[in-house]
Amino acid sequence: MDSRRRVPSAVFDEATAVLDEPDWRYVAQPELSPILRGALDAFYEKGFRGTTVRDISQRAGVTMPTLYYYHGNKEGIFTALLECATKDVLARAYAARDEGGDKPEVRLAYVVESILLRTLISPRMVALEPDIRFLSAPNRDRFERVRTGVERLLLGIVREGRRRGLFTVSDPVLTTRALLDMCDAVPRWYVECPPKYQAVAQKYGAIALNAVGYRADG
């Protein structure tokens, strides 16, 4: 049960990304081990840098050797949490895009909705992501690839919509960044999953459509 072995790096590859559920709109609350629950509380409160392994062991009610046995070190614990937070983000986004068929406007709204759904389900886990910058290079690269993947996906849709004259966007790269930033900031507003999270996710899809200058009557 070494959690370091649970991580297939192939989940970040579009070709092999597979969703646990066939419906990208279905997002389960991540099931966390007691160690990871304690770690989430600690990292959320104090950040990656401010958290000690001792802190996590106290919150989780397990000994330090147990922690080290399962996760190696603090980065191992943080990485295991991020894994839960990010493992199907890309697969979900691709599935959302594909459901949008040939319509860039539907694709965009669905992809943004897919990002929001998983954020709203576990905002505290997504809130850890800025601390990815403190990880060692291989782990940092691995998780940054998820973000880059989502960015490319969105940029492709924005460009396609613009090419077809559906979106009014003067700078696709800057607009795509703004869309991502808007999604990334959501954990600032929610500590727990809000009751009507599906409605919130859809509203963000609508705001994204506005942001690219799409109008149904265009």
- In the complex, the residues that contact a copy of itself under the rule CB under 8 A are 46-47, 49-50, 168-171, 174-175, 177-178, 181-182, 184-186, 188-189, 200, 203-204, 206-207, 210-213, 215
Phi-psi region of 13 (alpha: psi -120 to 50; beta: other; left: phi over 0): beta
Q: Encode 106-120: b = buried (16+ Cβ within 10 Å), e = exposed.
A: bbbbbbbbbbbbbbb
Tell me how far, at minimum, the Cβ of 173 lies from a copy of itself, in Å.
10
Indicate the residue among 15 and 199 with the shorter CB distance to a copy of itself: 199
Tell me how far, at minimum, the Cβ of 113 lies from a copy of itself, in Å.
14
HSE, side-chain direction, 13 A CA sphere, residue 60:
25
**By C-alpha distance, which of 34, 38, 35, 40 is closest to 59?**
38
d(CA 200, CA 78) in angstroms, rounded, equals 28
Spatial CB neighbours of 61, under 8 Å, sequence gap ≥ 6: 34, 38
Indicate the residue among 36 and 158 with the shorter CB distance to a copy of itself: 158
Tell me how far, at minimum, the Cβ of 130 lies from a copy of itself, in Å.
8
Most distant CA pair in the chain, distance: 63
**CB–CB of 186/120 below 8 Å?**
yes
Tell me how far, at minimum, the Cβ of 169 lies from a copy of itself, in Å.
7
Indicate the residue among 37 and 177 with the shorter CB distance to a copy of itself: 177
Indicate the residue among 111 and 186 with the shorter CB distance to a copy of itself: 186
Indicate the residue among 4 and 215 with the shorter CB distance to a copy of itself: 215
Tell me how far, at minimum, the Cβ of 70 lies from a copy of itself, in Å.
26
